[in-house]
A and B are shown apart, each in its own frame.
Chain A
Amino acid sequence: MEIMMAIIAGFLFSAATYLILSKSLLRIIIGTGLLSHGTHLLLLTMGGLGGKSAPVVADGVTVADYVDPLPQALILTAIVISFGVTAFALVLAYRTYQEIGTDNMDYMKGRGEID
Chain B
Amino acid sequence: MINLVVLPIIVPLFIGTVLLLFRKSLLAQRALGLFGAAATLVVSLILLAKVATDGIQVVTLGSWAAPYGISLVSDMLSILLVTTASLLTLLVLWYSVYSLGEKRELSFFYPATLFMLTGINGAFTTGDIFNLFVFFEVFLMASYVLIALGGERIQLRESMKYIIVNVVAAALFVITIGYLYSITGTLNMADLAVKLGDIGSMGVISTVAIMFLVVFGIKAGIFPLYFWLPGSYYAPPLPVLALFGALLTKVGIYSITRVYTLIFTTDVVFTHDMLMMLAIATILFGSIGALAYMDVKKIIIYNIVIAVGVILFGVATFNEVAVTGSVLYLIHDMLVKALLFLMIGVLIFITGKTNLREMGGLIRHYPVLGWTYLVAVFALAGIPPLSGFAGKILILQGGLEGGFNWQSIVVALSTMVVLLSAIRIFIYAFWGTEKSFNSPPRASYVKRMVPVVILFALTMGYGVFIEVLMPLFQAAGTQLMDSSIYIDAVLGGEK
Contacts and interface: CB of A to CB of B under 8 A. Distances in A.
Interface of A: 20, 25, 28, 32, 35-36, 38-40, 42-43, 45-48, 70-71, 74, 77-78, 81-82, 84-85, 88-89, 92-93, 95-96, 99-100, 108-109, 112
A83 to B, nearest CB: 11
A112 B371 CA distance: 36
Interface string B150-165: 0101101101110110
Contact of B151 (A82, A84, A99): A99
Nearest to A91: B148
Nearest to B157: A108
Given A92-B148, A92-B159, A99-B156, A43 B174 contact: yes
Given A46-B181, A46-B182, A47-B182, A84 B141 contact: yes
A85 B163 contact: yes
B156 A85 contact: no
A89 B174 contact: no
Which of A25, A48, A78, A108 has the most chain B CB atoms inside 10 A of its CB?
A78
Interface of B: 130, 133-134, 137, 141, 144, 148, 151, 153-154, 156-157, 159-161, 163-164, 167-168, 170-171, 174-175, 177-179, 181-182, 187
A23 to B, nearest CB: 13
A36 B156 contact: no
A32 B178 contact: no
Given A43-B175, A77-B134, A100-B153, 7 more contacts: A32-B171, A35-B171, A39-B178, A81-B170, A85-B167, A95-B151, A99-B153
A39 B480 CA distance: 32
17 contacts: A20-B168, A28-B164, A36-B171, A39-B178, A40-B174, A43-B175, A43-B181, A46-B178, A46-B181, A46-B182, A74-B130, A77-B130, A82-B171, A89-B163, A92-B144, A96-B156, A96-B160
Nearest to B187: A70
Contacts of A20: 164, 168
A1 to B, nearest CB: 14
Residue with the highest number of chain A CB atoms closer than 10 Å, among B148, B151, B159, B164 = B164
A28 B133 CA distance: 23
B133 to A, nearest CB: 8
Contact residues of B: prevailing secondary structure = helix
Contacts of B130: 74, 77
B168 A35 contact: yes
Closest 6 CB pairs of A and B: A46-B182, A46-B178, A43-B178, A96-B156, A108-B157, A112-B153
Nearest to B136: A81
Given A42-B175, A74-B177, A93 B170 contact: no
Contacts of B157: 96, 100, 108-109, 112
B116 to A, nearest CB: 15
Nearest to A32: B167
A112 B156 CA distance: 10
Nearest to A33: B167
Nearest to B166: A85
Contacts of A88: 141, 144, 163
A35 B151 CA distance: 27
